[in-house]
Amino acid sequence: MAGKNCKTTKSDRPTGDPAAFLQAAECLRALAHPVRLRMVQLLLDGRFTVGELAEDCQVPNNVASEHLRLMLRCGFFYTEREGRKVFYRVAEPHLAQLMACIEGRFLKKSPT
Amino acid sequence: MAGKNCKTTKSDRPTGDPAAFLQAAECLRALAHPVRLRMVQLLLDGRFTVGELAEDCQVPNNVASEHLRLMLRCGFFYTEREGRKVFYRVAEPHLAQLMACIEGRFLKKSPT
DNA sequence: TTGACATGTCGCGATGTCACGATATATTGA
DNA sequence: TCAATATATCGTGACATCGCGACATGTCAA
């Protein structure tokens, strides 16, 4: 009804575009899985095939393929076919920075 | 170029502690929701009550409370009760850096 | 062509997430 | 005490995710 007595004018708050938050949340969901995090970490270091990633993550090949497909659709990676093999590579440049944040918080290297 | 045997010692690859990846994935899942992302963004800017956050995010109070509880359990926030109200505040210092990464990629501010 | 290999896709069942309404708890003031 | 406010929790149903086996597609070599 009458004027809202909001203590804060809302314009001093940070950005609030709902669509952008939705998109950001979708990409975070694509990252929010231990196998997918590991795949991102590996791929930031080079290129790997489905089979190599599957072996490192200790999951069947089709499971690895499904995880990779999910991230492909978010634009994280692109693929290069070479013969029977398909190499995955990082396409989203911001992935490195984001992964660095995550590694800094959770995956600190042990100083042997 | 070669030098890349598929059966390398694996020690040249990045860190690979499975438990750490699991924990990181759990925290990312806690972030991977548009309402929760918005709440984090607001709380990085100050302290807010459940009702204030619920109004800004346009969700019922109990829904807001459930989202906050989820993030509380990840250690993202702590609470301060003042009378009937409960203020939420950021407890995890790495949240700011992580949110900055996400904002840099998805929530670019429009130039004023 | 056939067969082996690498990857991709489908359907299913188990589990998890989500928002909602109803209800419970906690605090303040009359 | 009772009522109002602010927050928290519970039960439920709709929907998504996950891992799996089975199968399909694509590639190469004999």
Dmax (CA) of chain A: 70
Of residues B9 and B46, the one with the higher pLDDT is B46
Asked if the model's pLDDT at residue B95 lies above 90, the reply is: yes
**Contact (CB, 8 A) for B90 and B96:** yes
Phi, psi of A78 (to 5 degrees): -135, 170
What are the beta bridge partners of residue A86? Answer: A81
Which pLDDT value is given to residue B8? 43
**Contact (CB, 8 A) for A5 and A37:** no
pLDDT band for position B12 (50/70/90)?
low
Asked if the model's pLDDT at residue B76 lies above 90, the reply is: yes
**Cβ density class B1-25: b for 16+ within 10 Å, e for less:** eeeeeeeeeeeeeeeeeeebbebbb
Query: Which member of A25, A33, A106 has the closest CB to residue B34?
Result: A25
- Segment A11-28 shows an average pLDDT of 83
- Segment A41-69 shows an average pLDDT of 97
Which pLDDT value is given to residue B71? 98
User: What distance in Å separates the CA atoms of residue A98 and residue B51, rounded to the nearest whole number?
Assistant: 31
**Contact (CB, 8 A) for A97 and B101:** yes
Q: What rounded mean pLDDT belongs to chain A? A: 88
E strands, chain B, in order: 48-49, 77-82, 85-90
Residue showing tokens 């699991």: B22
Q: What DSSP string runs through A54-88?
A: HHHHT--HHHHHHHHHHHHHTTSEEEEEETTEEEE
Which pLDDT value is given to residue A11? 47
User: Looking at residue A12, what DSSP letter applies?
Assistant: T
User: What distance in Å separates the CA atoms of residue A112 and residue B22, rounded to the nearest whole number?
Assistant: 22
Shortest Cα distance, chain A CAs vs residue B78, angstroms = 19
- Segment A14-19 shows an average pLDDT of 77
User: What distance in Å separates the CA atoms of residue B30 and residue A43, rounded to the nearest whole number?
Assistant: 24
Asked if the model's pLDDT at residue B5 lies above 60, the reply is: no
Which pLDDT value is given to residue B38? 98
Asked if the model's pLDDT at residue B24 lies above 70, the reply is: yes
In the chain, the amino acid numbered A105 is R
| Chain B interface includes A104 (CB < 8 A) | yes
Residue A46: partners with Cβ closer than 8 Å, 6 or more residues away: B4
Name the protein residue, with chain letter, whose CA is nearest the C1' of D19: A63
Shortest Cα distance, chain A CAs vs residue B93, angstroms = 10
- In tens, the pLDDT along A62-104 reads 999 999 999 999 999 999 999 999 999 999 999 999 999 999 9
Candidate from A57-66, A69-78, B14-23 with smallest mean pLDDT = B14-23
Query: Is the CB of A5 within 7 Å of strand D?
Result: no
Nearest to B28 by CA among A85, A48, A63, A102: A102
Query: Is the CB of B29 within 7 Å of strand C?
Result: yes
Of residues B12 and A92, the one with the higher pLDDT is A92
Please give residues of chain A from 81 to 100 whose alpha-adjacent beta carbon (CB) lies under 7 Å from any atom of strand C: 84-86
CB-contacted nucleotides of strand D (7 Å): 4-10, 17-23, 26-28
Which pLDDT value is given to residue A55? 97
Which pLDDT value is given to residue B14? 64
Residue showing tokens 């909001």: A6
